[in-house]
Structure 1
Amino acid sequence: MAPPRGTGAIRGRGRGGVGRRGARGAKRGGFAAARTRDAPPSEPEQSQSEESQASASDDDDDDDGQEAQPTSSAYAALLQSLSAVAQHNHASQEPRRKKRRLGVEEHGPVLPPGHHANADPPRPQNREIGPETRGDRVVALPLEEDVEEAATDGEEVDIEASTDAEKDGCSVFELHFANPDEKELTMRVKRILDNQWSSKMMDVGRGRGVLQLPGTQDIPLDRRKLKSTRDLQLKARLADNAHKAIGAFQEGVEQAIAPSIFGYQDVLFGARTVQNAGRLRDITCLHALNHVLLGRDRVLKNNAKLAAAKDDDDVQYRDQGFTRPKILFLLETKQACVRALDSITKLFDPEQQENKKRFLDSFSITEQKFSDDKPADFRELFEGNDENEFRVGLKLTRKALKLYSTFYNSDIIFASALGLRRAIESGDPKKRDSDFLSSIEMVMMEQADATLMQNWEHAEFVFEHLNLQPKEAHGCDFSRLRPWYSDDQAKYIRQTIIFSAFLTPKINTLYNKHMRNFAGRLKYTPDYTSGLIESLSYGIKQTFLRFDSPSHLTDPDARFKYFSSSMLPYILRFPKPMTGGSGVLLFIPSYLDFVRVRNSLVDTDISYASISEYTDPTDVRKARSHFMNGKHSLLLYTGRAHHFHRYNLRGVKKVVFYGVPENPLFYDEVLGFVAKSVERGEIGRAEGGVRATFSKWEKMELERIVGTKRVGKMVGDKGDVFDFV
């Protein structure tokens, strides 16, 4: 993964492309995986390479070969099977069941507390299908592959049989997507717009959760407990695989968040670790697959009912969106995309996987790049293919997974935030297309903390373009469009699941602005009662200094002023012997602050070196060597440089934190540089030390380090110097 370059416009050099072609008056965007290396702010964006053109051409070939309209013979075979069912019913002299709108009350029990429903049946994503006129109705045809498989296997579509969701009146899919109560939905949306949320605290294991529902009433915490995948309403083909892959939900975290995930509530989970990442991925992939299959089967069943219905039957099936894609995975690297696909493949167990070799050749690197001395979270993020500009579509049929499907023919889209933004903004500004995001019903963001270390504006851009009204029809059958799509309420139906190792103000802003699910939302954070500092045993003095900062908008100016007046004189005070130097490491979390401090040192007589995320590797080696040998007394080091490289710096005798790092592991690792100098005998334990400056606006970052029981006093009480050992 390349370090981020700039904070505003997208800049970069590399490969990426968008292939587009017309089909039945609707655009089909074929987006190929792309390689990127973001450029520094001063570098112009370079043209994309020929690989994107080849990939776009491949997508066109896929579209011609795989996405053709259903053959007349296949469709005739399906109609013949339906005719056989009708003749059988006539022969037994059973009256043919009248097709009509079905209310939820006919399906069994009512909703769980706080939910309502009433309306018509639901549907999956059937977008590349073409409409066929039957009488005065428009009938959406099944997917080509589904029709052909049914004809080949001799399978009859039982139009009277209920889906798994329909058999269970408490099906959350039915209540949330297929038949949400219109009055209840309207009322809750109004409360969301008025920012009226009722909250309930949940103490779970080593963390705490806040469950919010739109409204002001008290929340009864009588949520259904999920102990294993056997307690879920899964499609039959997923149930056994889910039990093998996931089995029982672990007590504590998993049992706390599983009801919200499978209950279609928004989830912001701020306790992702290397240890729990795999199971969290399996759980979300299972949920996404089940959602796709429930909707897909509903559409195919309703198609069959419409095909067999008489012209005088008064029947409506509101079971579709504007476009086919329903699931969006926002991932950080290509290797993370491989892991997500592996999880889906394990759970779906398809007979065929089309374009899998092409995908692995482009997305996966198997050889180990890093030694075991690198931290586990670093190796998980950057091991394998760490390119961070990509997008690829995945189409599900009854027997196969089809990779590199065009976006408008995909059920699931895997992409990085940067890759998706490039796809939308490429080409003519007047013809930019984000309509494939108009009907997204589920978003999974796996590593929000890693996205923060790139350019968070890319993530904000993607969320701003979700569930907008499309500019073109793209073959949509509006007679089957779910009402809440046309009412522009899809963003309140959409489920958003975000995993992060920790939470920040930017992530919280995304939570408040874009996670506004009418079913509610859950925010989970780990327990920081003791903080990181109690687990450190270096025996090195650590001093935290608070400075006054009236506003978070002027905080950078107040911080720089405090550094210039207090911290810089402290640094210059250290003796500078002929060998060894003073060995002061200045850790600066923000690149913009780094530039400001570096420029301020130009007119001083201090000998310093600097390492940022943009520093050339040759210059990095020189800076590290000169600092270790004492030729430079001060080393400026950015938080993102540490994120992308995790350098093991030698010669560090004292550390000054210009600001508190968002990732608490960085504080531990940088403090460890001083501890290693003590272990090597380069300095005595009393000579080493750490100073960290902070303001009241860094409460979240400070809490993770000093603990919840101390942070309030440090931020709000009298006194501005706090010592720890």
Structure 2
Amino acid sequence: MKGKKYFGKKKTIKDHISKKKRKSSNDTYVTNKKAKFNRYKNVQKVEEELEKKKQMERKFQREQEAYSESEEEQDVYGQLVSCFSKPTNTIVVNSDEEVDSDSPSPEIESCARKRARNEEVSKTESDSDYSDSEDNAKGQDFDNTATFETELDHETDDLFVKHLQYDLPDELLVSLNNSPMTVSTISKTWPVIGNITIVIPRPIETAIKKVKAKISLLEDKTFAEPGTAPSLIHKVDFEELKIKSQIHGNIVSANKTSLVKRDLELSEVLTPLQKEIFSILNNYQDLYYPERTFSNADEIRYIYCLHAINHMLKTRTRILHHNAKLTKKNDISDDYRDQGLVRPKVLVMVPFKNAAYRVVKTLMEILVPKEAGQVLNKKRFEDEFTGGELIMPRKNPKPEDYELMFTGNTDDTFRIGMTVTKKSLKLYTDFYSSDIIVASPLGLRMLVGAEGEEDRDYDFLASIEILIMDQADVFLMQNWDHLLHVLDHFHLQPKKTHDTDFSRVRSWAVNGWAKYYRQTLVFASVLLPEIKSVLNKKCHNYAGKVLVENPVEVGSIQQVLLQIPQIFHRFNASTALESAEARFEYFIKEVLPKQRDTLMSHTLIYVPSYFDYVRIRNYFKKEDISFVQICEYSKDAKIARARDMFFHTEAHFLLYSERVHFFRRFRIKGIRHIIFYQPPTYPHFYSEMCNLMQESNQNKYGGSECNMTVSVLYCRCDLVRLGALLGAARGARVLRADRPVHMYVTGD
């Protein structure tokens, strides 16, 4: 019964008549459709030609105001305009003929026009319901195109687009390659961060300015503009800061812990420190922030994770928009170049698995909060990046900073790739399918390999746009060479294509200029010249860099509890390379002979650099000096034997490396004299070592309480480390003083 009703309803008289009408008027209808289509197309083409002509005339008028033209040049312009006007007139005549005749000749029509006409006719014949609204549908197509263009216009206000979309002008490119670079320096003081120094590269000023051609067949090209000083964020406005809408609802919830910790309302969204740091990050400038502590670590981690996620979502949205546009176009213009040579865009380097675990968890909270189903391979990640904690002793507890540093999994060999989608996060993806990579310097070093190795890969580093190095000071304690080796392999030409669509690769990436667009963010707990050297030599961001430089008012010498003389020896060295040789010569000629006296037994020599440690050890062996040694490579049995011999006066010297103190934090007993071969990397290590000389740690038969000293060797290259010990003002006075030796006693 249902079938009969259905068929009866289908074959009505009305449908029969309409079918006859379509058959009888088929030729006329198709002809009308052709005429309508051709009329629309030709009108559009005429308007485009007229607009081009108007633009050329306006451009010529502007150039006439700036330059004086001769009669010959005017004739050239007239000829050029006539060349463009003749084809325009021809097109208009042909279009009029086609409209009048209603039957365009197939010789004039292009293949694309025929295809479009056939699609329109077939669409009309197959479904008569849309025949009346055909013109409306066409209008909607153009409305969508206009909407997309409007979106792109709004995106041009975003610093993400301004920083990455355009090529560098020649003047700025030459300036970036010059040594020294032409820069402008700006100093500011912000409420929380304090004193910041902004260094921005400037284009070179040529003596003879290039005169632009009065008439050019090429379009004016837009170039990247030099960087500008960051402006402080006072109120968080997601639209103004260009934060993607899909994470708006997660920002406050992911940052709730930091806001509560600072006694702030949730309406504040970000803490004052986060606002100031994000002001710099969102300006796409390099940053060196040397005041990271265990109390503000979560705030810093959250803000750079937010920046990384926001960057990746913008990149993804732009690529998807362009993909949608290109499905309707056959040719690809430079406006659609939105990718690098390879896919990975963000690299986060941290020292331990526990730090990587916290980074990934923060990314999850921002992108996919409390939704375990939207994170792929989450269980595997939890298993591999948790556990393996160090067991802290209860009898002789370690210092508080040591326990905070080495909580969780302290494995330093790891790397993990992640892919960001609209509402999910995929872990353990292949590097060439990843958007974000979280790894340690050692994990990357093993993958990058050395020259001559077969199984080495560093192509994934070719298009990194944001490099984040958190706890960079710990990299110095692990192995600084690993970091330098990895940085040397950034932005090299890939050995393989890795399925790259080169028609979508940005021109500056093809030209090998990717290093000028990379933003580098460095967070450390101390200000170190080694890190500043990396920023100066291996970071070339054309937008500039921001350095946080707050002078130390009270040095760590104030934390020494004992009343002992602390002697600072200055030697002369103009450069860092000269300082290594000059330091060793001063040590063996001026300091060591006095310390070899029998009254100066129980002397510990604290050596920050492992290369200096090896040099002193070899010299002691050569001179047959009584000593024992403890370094990061020493086995536990040898460490116990060395400590015992030193305590019982069986060895005159104890050679002690800074790295073993960082990783093991031994409480050496029996110290009567300390020689700091160089000021320590961490200033609190100075007071910590000096306080080990208290009476409870001494051998009663190893010397008297009056015979205890501390000696420090330094030069001008150690200004930063010296300032951390004595205070910036006092350290500067010591370096300027005429006397090379200064003595301090705590409490003066």
1:9 matched residue in structure 2: none
Query: Relative to structure 1, is the Cα distance of residues 319 and 216 closer, same or farther in structure 2, using a 3 angstrom cutoff?
Result: closer
Contact 1:660–1:693 under 8 Å retained in 2: yes
Amino acid at match of 1:698: D
Aligned to 1:64: none
Q: Relative to 1, partners in 2 of residues 1:225 and 1:453: Cα closer, same or farther, differing over 3 Å?
A: same
**DSSP-derived class of the 1:293 partner:** helix
2:317 maps to: 297
Q: Look up the SS of the partner of 1:399 in the other structure.
A: coil
**Aligned mates of 1:650, 1:393 — CA distance in 2:** 46
Choose which of 408, 413, 420 in structure 2 pairs with 1:396.
Answer: 420
Report the Cα distance in structure 2 between the residues aligned to 1:311 and 1:188, rounded to whole angstroms.
34
The CA distance in 1 between the partners of 2:700 and 2:237, in whole Å, is: 55
In structure 2, what is the Cα distance between the partners aligned to 1:323 and 1:276?
34
Q: 1:187: how far off?
A: 3.4
Number of equivalences: 574
In structure 2, how many angstroms separate the alpha carbons of the residues matched to 1:515 and 1:679?
49
Of residues 163, 170, 180 in structure 1, which corresponds to 2:157? 170
1:325·1:408 contact (CA, 8 Å) conserved in 2?
yes
Please report the RMSD computed on the Cα atoms of aligned residues, expressed in angstroms.
3.3
Q: Is the 8 A contact 1:652 1:677 kept in 2?
A: no
Relative to structure 1, the CA distance from residue 227 to residue 532 in structure 2 (aligned partners, 3 Å threshold; closer, same or farther) is farther
- Residue 244 (structure 1) aligned with residue 244 (structure 2): no
| Closer, same or farther: CA 428–659 of 1 in aligned 2, 3 Å | closer
C-alpha separation in 2, matches of 1:512 and 1:313: 38
Q: Structure 1 residues 496 and 603, CA, compared in 2 at 3 Å: closer, same or farther?
A: closer
**Is 1:328 paired with 2:347?**
yes
Residue identity in the other structure for 1:596? R
Does the 8 Å contact 2:560/2:690 carry over to 1?
no
Are residues 1:360 and 2:382 paired?
Answer: yes
Q: Which secondary structure state, in structure 2, belongs to the residue aligned with residue 211 of structure 1?
A: strand
**8 Å contact from structure 2 (residues 230, 279) kept in 1:** no
Report deviation, 1:381: 3.4
Query: Aligned in 2, Cα 1:314/1:286: closer, same or farther, shift over 3 Å?
Result: closer
RCO (CA 8 Å, sep 6+): is it higher in 1 or 2?
1
Instruction: Please report how far the alpha carbon of residue 606 of structure 1 lies from its aligned counterpart in structure 2 after TM superposition.
Output: 5.5
**Distance change (3 Å), C-alpha of 1:260 and 1:249:** farther
Shift of 1:406: 0.6
Secondary structure of 2:336's partner? coil
- Among candidates 163, 181, 193, match of residue 177 of structure 2: 193
Aligned match of 2:284:
264
- Per-residue CA deviation, residues 526-577 of structure 1 (Å, 9 max, x unaligned), is 331332223544433211111233553232332222222222222222438x
1:24-76 deviations in whole A, cap 9, x for unaligned?
xxxxxxxxxxxxxxxxxxxxxxxxxxxxxxxxxxxxxxxxxxxxxxxxxxxxx
- C-alpha distance in 2 between matches for 1:544 and 1:188: 46
How far apart are the structure 2 equivalents of 1:473 and 1:602?
54
User: What is the CA–CA distance in structure 1 between the aligned matches of 2:189 and 2:353, rounded to whole Å?
Assistant: 36
* Cα distance between partner residues in 2 of 1:553 and 1:585: 26
Q: TM-score, normalised by structure 2?
A: 0.70
Q: Structure 1 stretches of 5 or more lacking a match?
A: 1-83, 103-158, 577-581
CA-CA distance at 1:95 after TM superposition? 4.7
Deviates more, 1:272-281 or 1:621-630: 621-630
Secondary structure at 1:325's aligned position in 2? Answer: coil
Over alpha carbons, which structure has the higher Rg? 2
User: Residue in 1 aligned with 2:669?
Assistant: 650
Matched residues in 2 for 1:190 and 1:427: separation? 31
2:231 maps to 1:233: no
Rounded Cα–Cα distance in structure 2 between residues aligned with 1:596 and 1:544:
22
1:359 Cα deviation from its structure 2 partner = 2.0
Q: Measured at CA, do residues 681 and 211 of structure 1 come closer, stay the same or move farther in structure 2, by a change above 3 Å?
A: farther
Q: Counterpart of 1:453 in 2: which secondary structure?
A: helix
Give the counterpart letter for 1:369 in structure 2.
Answer: I
Match of 2:391 among 369, 390, 395: 369
- Mapped to 1, the partners of 2:235 and 2:562 lie a distance apart of 41
Equivalent positions of 1:484-499 (< 5 A) are 484-499=508-523
Judged with a 3 Å threshold, the aligned counterparts in structure 2 of structure 1 residues 301 and 427 are, in CA distance, closer, same or farther, namely: same
Higher helix share: 2
Alignment-mate amino acid for residue 142 of structure 2: R
Alignment of 1:101-250 (within 5 A): 160=148, 167=154, 169-177=156-164, 179-180=165-166, 182=167, 185-194=169-178, 195-204=181-190, 205=192, 207-215=194-202, 223-228=231-236, 230=238, 232-246=241-255, 248=268
Q: CA deviation at 1:305?
A: 2.3
* Identical amino acids, percent of aligned pairs: 32
* Partner residue in 2 for 1:111: none
What's the CA shift for 1:605?
A: 7.1
Shift of 1:340: 0.8
- Pairing partner for 1:593 from 606, 612, 624: 612
User: Is 1:284–2:300 an aligned residue pair?
Assistant: no
**Structure 1's 225 and 312: CA in aligned 2 closer, same or farther, altered over 3 A?**
closer
C-alpha distance in 2, partners of 1:363/1:418?
Answer: 16
Residue 295 of structure 2 corresponds to which residue in structure 1? Answer: 275
Amino acid at match of 2:710: V
- The answer to which of 561-570 and 290-299 deviates more is 561-570
- Structure 1 residue 251 displacement after superposition: 7.2
C-alpha distance after superposition, 1:695-715 (max 9, x if no partner): 222112111111211222322
The equivalent residue for 1:32 is none
Between structures 1 and 2, the one with greater strand share: 1
Contact 1:335 1:385 in 2 (8 A): yes
**How many Å apart are 1:524 and its aligned residue?**
1.2
Q: Is the 8 Å Cα contact of residues 353 and 410 (structure 2) preserved in structure 1?
A: yes
Deviation readout 1:603-637 (Å, 9 max, x if unpaired): 66754321111111111111122323333332211
Q: Is 1:386 paired with 2:410?
A: yes
Q: Identify the residue that residue 529 of structure 2 maps to in structure 1.
A: 505
Q: 1:602 aligns with which of 591, 607, 621?
A: 621
Residue 242 of structure 1 aligns to which amino acid in structure 2?
Answer: I
- The 5-angstrom pairing of residues 651-690 of structure 1 reads 651-675=670-694, 677=696, 686-690=706-710
Q: Distance in 1 between matches of 2:161 and 2:576?
A: 44
Match of 1:337 in 2: 356
Distance 1:435 1:648, change over 3 A: same
Distance 1:161 1:681 in 2: 84
- After superposition, residues 5-44 of structure 1 pair within 5 angstroms as none
Partner amino acid for 2:543? A
**CA displacement at 1:358 relative to structure 2:** 1.6
Deviation track 1:243-299 (CA, whole Å, cap 9, x = no partner) reads 233364877754443211111111111112222211111110110011111111111
Q: Do 2:445 and 2:482's aligned partners in 1 also have CA atoms closer than 8 Å?
A: yes
Question: Aligned in 2, Cα 1:315/1:543: closer, same or farther, shift over 3 Å?
Answer: closer
Q: After superposition, give the CA deviation of every residue in 1:639-662 in whole Å (9 maximum; x if it has no partner).
A: 111111111111222211122112
After superposition, the Cα gap between the structure-2 partners of 1:585 and 1:211, relative to the gap in structure 1 and judged at 3 Å, is: same
Which of 400, 407, 418 is the matching residue for 2:431?
407
Distance 1:530 1:611, change over 3 A: same
Match of 2:109 in 1: none
Question: In the alignment, what sits opposite 2:717?
Answer: 697
**What is the identity, as a one-letter code, of the residue corresponding to 1:301?**
H
**How far apart in 1 are the matches of 2:474 and 2:387?**
20
Q: Which moved more, 1:332-341 or 1:471-480?
A: 471-480
Note the C-alpha offset of 1:237: 2.4
